[in-house]
């Protein structure tokens, strides 16, 4: 063993030890390892940042953006709404939800697939009283299993494909993992169909979860569009489409308010409905029932064409001039150029016309406005912004765009017409350019720590190969397993990877072990 090989092995060993210790962030550990490799001379200076321009990093980043756009589109939730009422017991809920997330993870990144389906699973749990843990954990395992089927399903697949290209000159294709991945996925789904019974039945009761969500229930106004078919929908039919997530508080027609309208009342074009619900449920309800927010139609003035429209939540402060004023008197749109989309008041449900409701300290307002001017308006009105979370109500969605673009990208890759990195980079750019995802949302979708981890470890893991360390270990393995079937050597590498993975990020494990296995 040469000095350089010893330094490379020592660096890898210390890096693995730091990962297992868990005292520091894994992206910081990877960055420090890269700097140490440069100082020790096992990582050439000209190769230090190869990981940041590597196809692996590009593919993972673009796959995260495409997955976020897919989740943002709401196409899966819309397709599932007809199926959800049939899922009354855990026996049917677990296989269906796990199966759907498994299929999604084959096309999008497994983390993105799980993010798409988690709100659906929580909605099912709230409606049926099922324990959320008994739905979510099988879905997590299903997402991991489905990610093994295609190249872009999970980061390790992409990394292994890159290692193969460096060794034999050709990477794995989009569906080269399918023969093994499909078999493992089928076994996993068969086990999860009954294995969920081993999980605890109750972690948090449905009643507690519903109570927590109801604290953030908003009251807002929606209207039936002009093309609303006469007699096409009654109040009770609308309530059913809301699946218990939305309550109709009042119906306003020709300026007259009808509180708690009867179920047989027919909703006509131009009618205004006062509805209440948690913002995620409201958004799904609007999409299904083809209703529009009353105040969403007023245009928001922006300083430039590139400025985005944001929707935020803010609390009315003690010294806010809005206290005691009605929405009409406050004239938020005229004075500050912002729309009030909804109001949430703890322990009290608003039943009057939203524009006549008097605001009070502690009310939570759902506001829509230009991203750059919102902070100024909040300060002037003494409104306290809540901790930032994803608020989709009142924002536009391109339902079919991400699915169509993703399908085209996968077809192009499947037929070998374009490289994976080019296809997914193009897909991400097209989706953002056509409004399927805002630039802010695209940047937020990027998992910075994961990308830094991979980009920093690519040259570090390459140090073993560049110093001849991988050949040294391969020679030792050949000596140990000489005279034995080659499959035992493969099993040895697999067992080593499986032993380390619980303590390391799976992508980090592959980056370290793959050059040795190759």
> For 196-219, what is each residue's pLDDT tens digit?
888 876 544 444 444 444 445 778
Q: Among 35, 16, 37, which residue's Cα sits nearest to residue 26?
A: 16
Residue 349: pLDDT band (50, 70, 90) is low
62 vs 200: CA distance, rounded Å: 37
Coil, strand, or helix at residue 275? strand
Coil, strand, or helix at residue 340? strand
Cβ(56)–Cβ(454) below 8 Å:
yes
Paired tokens of 225: 């569009």
Paired tokens of 124: 């099912």
372 vs 386: CA distance, rounded Å: 17
Which has more pLDDT, 363 or 517? 363
518 vs 516: CA distance, rounded Å: 5
The residues that bridge with 223 in the sheet, in sequence order, are 272, 292
Which has more pLDDT, 201 or 293? 293
Q: Write the class of the CATH domain 309-385.
A: alpha beta
Cβ(62)–Cβ(489) below 8 Å:
no
Coil, strand, or helix at residue 127? helix
Query: What are the CA-CA distances from residue 251 to residues 240, 254, 268 (Å)?
Result: 16, 10, 10
- Tell me which H or E stretch contains 312: strand 309-316
**Beta strands in 130-284, from DSSP E residues, in sequence order:** 218-223, 246-253, 256-259, 272-277
Residue whose entry in the numeric block shows the structure tokens 């300083």: 303
Q: Which tens digit of pLDDT belongs to each residue from 159-176? A: 888 888 877 888 888 889
Assigned CATH topology for domain 212-297: Alpha-Beta Plaits (3.30.70)
Q: Which tens digit of pLDDT belongs to each residue from 317-328? A: 888 888 888 878
Burial of 193 (0-12, 13-18, 19+ CB in 10 A): middle
Residue range(s) in the chain whose domain bears CATH number 3.30.70.1450: 212-297, 309-385
- Tell me which H or E stretch contains 102: helix 90-107
pLDDT of residue 350: 67
Is 0.75 topped by the overall pTM? Answer: no
**Biggest alpha carbon distance in the chain?**
90
């Amino acid at each position: 063993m040469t000095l350089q090989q010893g330094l490379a092995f020592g660096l890898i060993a210390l890096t693995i030890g730091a990962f297992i210790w868990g005292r520091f962030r894994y992206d910081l550990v990877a960055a420090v390892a890269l700097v140490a490799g440069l100082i020790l001379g096992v990582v050439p200076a000209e190769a230090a940042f190869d990981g940041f321009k590597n196809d692996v990093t590009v593919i993972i980043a673009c796959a995260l953006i495409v997955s976020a756009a897919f989740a943002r589109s709401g196409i899966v939730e819309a397709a599932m709404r007809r199926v959800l009422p049939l899922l009354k017991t855990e026996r049917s809920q677990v296989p269906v939800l796990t199966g759907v997330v498994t299929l999604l993870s084959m096309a999008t990144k497994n983390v993105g697939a799980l993010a798409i389906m988690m709100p659906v699973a929580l909605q099912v749990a709230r409606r049926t009283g099922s324990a959320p843990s008994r739905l979510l954990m099988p879905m997590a395992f299903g997402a991991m299993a489905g990610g093994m089927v295609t190249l872009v399903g999970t980061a390790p697949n992409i990394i292994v494909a890159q290692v193969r290209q460096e060794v034999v000159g050709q990477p794995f294709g989009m569906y080269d993992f399918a023969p093994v991945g499909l078999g493992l996925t089928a076994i996993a789904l068969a086990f999860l169909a009954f294995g969920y019974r081993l999980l605890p039945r109750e972690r948090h009761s449905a009643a507690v979860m519903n109570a927590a969500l109801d604290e953030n229930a908003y009251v807002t106004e929606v209207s039936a569009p002009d093309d609303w078919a006469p007699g096409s929908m009654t109040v009770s039919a609308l309530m059913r489409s809301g699946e218990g997530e939305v309550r109709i508080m009042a119906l306003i027609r020709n300026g007259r308010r009808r509180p708690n309208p009867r179920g047989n009342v027919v909703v006509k074009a131009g009618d205004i409905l006062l509805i209440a619900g948690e913002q995620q449920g409201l958004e799904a309800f609007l999409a299904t029932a083809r209703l529009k927010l009353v105040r969403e139609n007023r245009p928001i003035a922006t300083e430039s064409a590139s400025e985005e429209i944001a929707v935020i939540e803010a609390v009315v402060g003690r010294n806010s001039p809005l206290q005691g004023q009605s929405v009409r008197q406050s004239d938020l749109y005229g004075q500050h150029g912002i729309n009030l989309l909804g109001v949430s008041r703890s322990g009290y449900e608003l039943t009057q016309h939203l524009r006549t409701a008097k605001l009070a300290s502690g009310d939570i307002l759902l506001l829509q406005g230009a991203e750059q001017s919102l902070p100024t308006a909040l300060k002037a009105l003494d409104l306290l912004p809540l901790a930032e979370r994803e608020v989709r109500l009142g924002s536009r969605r391109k339902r079919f765009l991400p699915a169509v673009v993703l399908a085209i990208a996968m077809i192009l890759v499947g037929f070998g017409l374009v490289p994976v990195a080019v296809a997914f980079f193009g897909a991400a750019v097209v989706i953002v350019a056509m409004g399927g995802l805002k630039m802010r949302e695209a940047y937020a979708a990027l998992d910075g720590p994961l990308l830094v981890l991979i980009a920093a470890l690519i040259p570090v893991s390459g140090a073993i190969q560049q110093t001849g360390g991988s050949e040294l270990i391969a020679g030792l393995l050949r000596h140990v397993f000489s005279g034995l079937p080659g499959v035992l050597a493969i099993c040895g590498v697999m067992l080593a990877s499986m032993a380390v993975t619980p303590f390391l990020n799976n992508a980090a494990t592959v980056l370290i072990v793959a050059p040795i296995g190759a």
